[in-house]
Amino acid sequence: MVDRPSVLRANLTAGEVEKERVPDQWRRRFLGGKGLGVRYLYDALEAGVDPLGPDNLLGFFVGPLAGALPGESRYAAVTKSPLTGLFLDSYAGGAFASRLAGSLEDCRALVVTGASDDPVRIVVEDGTAEIEPAETWGADTVETGAAHPDAAVACIGPAGERQVRYATIASDAGDHQAGRGGAGAVMGSKRLKAVVAAGPPADPPTPELARLRETYAERYATGETGSWQATSATLESIDFADAVDALATNGWRERTFDGIEDIGVEAARDASVGREYPDEPVPGGFRVETDDGETVPRGATQMSLGAGLGIDDFDAVAELGALCDRLGLDVISAGNAVAWVARAREAGAIEAALEFGDGEGARALITAIADGVQALEDAASGDLELPCDPAVVATLRDGVDTAAARFGVEPIPTVKSMALPAYDPRGAAGMALAYATSDRGGCHRRARPIEEEVFAAWDRDERVTAVRVAQDVRSVLWSLVADDFAGETLWHDCGTEFFEALTDAETVDVAYPTDPDALYRTGERIWTLVRLFNAREGVDRHDDRLPEPLFAGDSSDEGGVDVDAGIDPDAFEALLSAYYRARGWGRDGLPTERTLERLDLAPVRDEQTPVGTAFAAASEGGGKR
């Protein structure tokens, strides 16, 4: 049976694991992955819970179609973010995701609560889980993976152990990362070193689902996205952003990079020793050699650790990416932390021996951020040369917003305390709206209208529709939990054909939606419940903002972009209001009672969660795709 009607709940404080059934209504209305994760999180946490305290919940969720969808299997790490204090969902694929789904058997998730006094690991197999002592505490992600040769592992590195607020959960010896927002720090706070999936990979449960998987995989391989992925992997992103003047460069001071040819996709092809999945119809990213072994540079790596830092040496950028992967550190946040130091030094706010283009300085700073006390001991002994004062390093472990507040300089843009990735929104108003309204902070994965907007003359309504639809559809796909790229083949109907096959084969015991509009409404419901979670933590319109350095001047463009001057603040506020109207949210950015009734969320909302006041009754109703 592909449907997984239970969860395994591991209480690390008590050292106990229990299996509990997922309420049928939760499964029907929230599916799995992101949707089921936010339903559990909203139900379990009180407002103001410390993300790094024992009361926080960390879930490893799979979807109701695990093993049956095209592309890589994936899992969703869901928790309250220690970086933003808000909802966090982060995703990774590869062998661990597939074997986790197979190991869970009749379960939809492993949900972890409490905190252990001593380092532990959780071993999942045959639909059960055991809490065991962790022998690899102190090891990096590659070493931890190697210590479990007969299983697939998701683990934390030194950054997670030291609770850096943008530490990742690494799987498959660092090849895959549940990257943004600090889920790895939550693992570290619980003294959970690793989750070990000891069972076999998940497979399609019926011949019809296996046939559908093959059909959709072929559709992806021969389609536009699959062809692009097979040719260039995600590295094409940096070449694209540079070509459309949207590549944040040298600490967000420029939007193109003179060294693009030295770190972009052609440089990766020249340096490649192979592809990540050479035998697949659409192979993975390019593998390259570094001093620490092979690594897979990705678009975010080249953008944030290359162009963002003014480093045009491909080998140096690859080394920095591999270092972050081993330490378990988000490459986007790490790159922005280094850029913050370089710009703060230029502004005279701090003393530092770090400039743009300094790969060795970047390496030392990233190592110091992740390695904590050990890095300070190495610096004292002369084994590591710190590029800035230890107090700066310690502050950067909490993110660039914390550093900006302490030292009084804010050169790096953030949304909800998450540093932006390197797609510069000053050239695309839709991207500005996508960043501002992202449910987990500054994120380009919720919606990427820039990929179409730069080639079209969109008006305000077109920008709002593009962002809203992408957010809702991806909420469905991430609840399935679909491959980020092959999952695009499900965009037209949100997986309806797969749910119909489940129902026809009688492999489910709950009536999942089998209508595209119903599934799209499910995505809107999930997006709105995340907004309720964040609203309970105090989020409203004030938080759906972009930092001041991105705003400047006036613009005649309806979307509010002047490429030279920046984003027109008045036009942006009008765009934000139009987005709220389309969602049926109030002027303050909070869902209204009428919208909650329409999405069956009124019974879910608790008394701590505020609701919005509608603009006007005629403005409500969500809108169609």
Please report the DSSP string for 47-71 in residue order.
TT--TTSTT--EEEE--TTTTTSSS
| 379: pLDDT strictly greater than 90 | no
Looking at residue 382, its pLDDT comes to 76
Provide the CATH topology of domain 6-197.
Aldehyde Ferredoxin Oxidoreductase;  A, domain 1 (3.60.9)
Q: For the chain, first and last CA: distance in Å? A: 32
For the residues 548-568, what does the mean pLDDT come to? 59
Task: Please report the pLDDT score of residue 9 as a whole number.
Answer: 98
Q: How many residues belong to the chain? A: 625
Examine the pLDDT at 124 and tell me if it is beyond 90. yes
Give the closest residue to 448 by CA, choosing from 226, 300, 252: 300
The residue extents of the domains of the chain are 6-197, 223-409, 423-483+515-619
By the 8 A CB rule, do 196 and 123 touch? yes
Among the residues of 87-235, which ranges form H helices?
95-104, 141-146, 158-161, 183-189, 207-222, 224-232
| Percent helix, strand and coil across the chain, each to the nearest 5 | 45, 15, 40
**Among 312, 316, 266, 268, residue whose Cα is nearest residue 288:** 268
Q: What SS3 state is found at 468?
A: helix
Q: Which pTM was predicted? A: 0.95
User: pLDDT (tens digit, 9 = 90+) per residue, 560-590?
Assistant: 444 456 888 999 999 999 999 999 999 999 9
Q: Would you state the pLDDT for residue 2?
A: 46
223-409 CATH: 1.10.569.10
Instruction: Indicate the pLDDT class of residue 373, thresholds 50, 70 and 90.
Output: low
Residue 457: per-residue pLDDT? 87
Is residue 91's pLDDT more than 80? yes
What is the model's pLDDT at position 28? Answer: 93
Tell me which H or E stretch contains 414.
strand 414-415
Q: What is the pLDDT of residues 218-268, one digit of tens each?
A: 999 999 889 988 999 888 899 999 999 999 999 999 999 999 999 999 999
Q: Cα–Cα distances in Å, from 221 out to 67, 234, 452? A: 18, 15, 21
Q: Cis (ω within 30 of 0) for the bond into 392?
A: no
Same CATH topology for 6-197 and 223-409? Answer: no
Q: Are 476 and 76 in contact (CB under 8 A)?
A: no
Strand partners, 551: 567
- CATH class of the domain comprising 423-483+515-619: mainly alpha
Task: Give yes or no for a contact between 429 and 560, defined as CB atoms under 8 angstroms apart.
Answer: yes
Binned at pLDDT 50, 70 and 90, residue 4 comes out as: low
* C-beta of residue 354 within 8 angstroms of C-beta of residue 362: yes
Residue 603 neighbours by CB under 8 Å, 6+ apart:
none
Radius of gyration of the chain (CA): 23
Q: What is the pLDDT of residue 552?
A: 66
- Grade residue 456 by pLDDT with cuts at 50, 70 and 90: confident
Question: Residue 150 — very low, low, confident or very high, per pLDDT cuts 50/70/90?
Answer: very high
Percentage of the residues of the chain whose pLDDT score is greater than 70: 95
User: Is the model's pLDDT at 555 over the cut of 50?
Assistant: no
Is the model's pLDDT at 297 over the cut of 60? yes
